[in-house]
Amino acid sequence: MGKTPSLNLLKGSKTMKDTVRYVELKEGEGNHEHEPLSSGSRFFHEPGFNIYILTKIGVNSTIHIDAARDFCIQMVAKYPCFSKVVVKDKESGSMNWVRTHVNIDDHLIIPEIDQNMESGDKFVEDYVSNLTVSCIDNSKPLWDIHILNARTSDAEATCIYRAHHSLGDGLSFMNMLLSLSRKASDPEALTTLAANKKAHHHTTKAASFMSFCMVLWNTFVAFMLFVFTTMFLKDTQTPMKASPGVEDRRRRIVTRSVSFADIKLVKNAMNATVNDVIVGIVQAGFNRYLKGRYEEINSPVPENILLRAMMSYNLRASVNVDAATKNTNEDETWGYKVGYILLPFNVKNRSDPLDYVREAKAIMERRKASFEPFATRFFAKTLVPKLFGIKIAGKLNRKVYYNTTFGFSNMPGPKEELCFLQQKVTYLAPSIYGIPSGLMIHIISYVDKVTFVLSAEEETIPDPQKLCDDLEISLHHIKCSVLDKPCAEK
């Protein structure tokens, strides 16, 4: 079996536990090209919150170096943030973005691969796992691309795109990737996102004074729960809840794809949304997984478990990829523009699998009838930093992750097959590492599939493929219940 490259072969990387060093701004070097980091970006340079976005992209043929290099050149030319480094002022401690020269070869990593290896899937998984305990040197722009021309069960080659979260949020990077790619069916046409429309925000119209009061009440309750969580309110200690220091430990990033048609079938039958169905699947999957973990220690599952997700919520006016392509003002489409929702997951055992979806629908409807993501963003990114400074704000922000069980994100993907690096894309799998949580679940749609991407810390979730199995089985049971037919165990 081929040997997985060790960390010292990941050129330009450091371990996550290394002291983060920055280019220092010396006396007389100040100029108009220095741009202060936003409060959202600044959080990701605080201790214990050194988070990277890592996206696996599978393609159906060998990736050529020239195609990868051309992509990097276009990306740097079109998006200035990829040619900036973080510069720290020695006296004030403030941080700024400063333009610098980009040597593409410093960011394009193509390891030698033994084509006779026993398992390409294990090689790619181990390679990514090694990346999750490394970081990029701050003396250069904080991104790189790894090309793995190794055949796996779902791709002929894999591109791993990695960037520091301070550069932007997940939708920023998705728009960037799509704006530099094309439809597989039409090399001249841009692809479109599954939700290629105005983003749905929590702006429920109040039809009456009472409904308006209900929106305010829901917002107040959600806001206070968020504040309490930054201070003392903790989830139940279950096998899925990580211990302190989780952000520095190795992770496994695994994926499982299911049929989008099956999810739509449940959605239409229950008059719900795709997101309602996905949350219901996760609730049911967690129920199965926790029962298995407690059986291992011969213990019953505790009653009344408090299990919540820190859910990221897009606050942009549009999620249309064309906006990123045609709009010359980068500030309109780029950056870290998300709010937070503390989403409770009911993992009690249910005799009817559809109850998981019904409960998810009720929970999501309450969230929609509030301004929770706007309120939590204002508290975390504006109010606390101004009152107490970025250091205290960073600690409180990190504590929300420590006091909840996992992170959750649901992102629309392309509706049509994508051509990336001159090859047809077989799957997209965005994820993150460095997060102070034992588990992060990203869900992304791509053509006719929905992919669950799990970023699992090895001590907290030692068997992430088992959790993937439980999620897939849960969808199968929910679908059978909708069709009112016997459900054989998958």
CA distance 85 to 82: 8
Nearest to 475 by CA among 454, 457, 458, 451: 451
The residues carrying an active-site annotation are 165
Where does 129-184 show beta strands of DSSP type E?
134-136, 143-148, 157-164, 182-183
CA distance 443 to 280: 13
Contacts of 273 (CB under 8 A, 6+ apart): 267, 361, 364
Residue 247 burial (CB count, 10 A)? 24
CA distance 378 to 372: 10
Nearest to 411 by CA among 227, 178, 139: 178
CA distance 204 to 212: 9
CB 243 within 8 A of CB 441: no
Phi and psi at residue 296, in whole multiples of 5°? -65, -30
456 three-state secondary structure:
strand
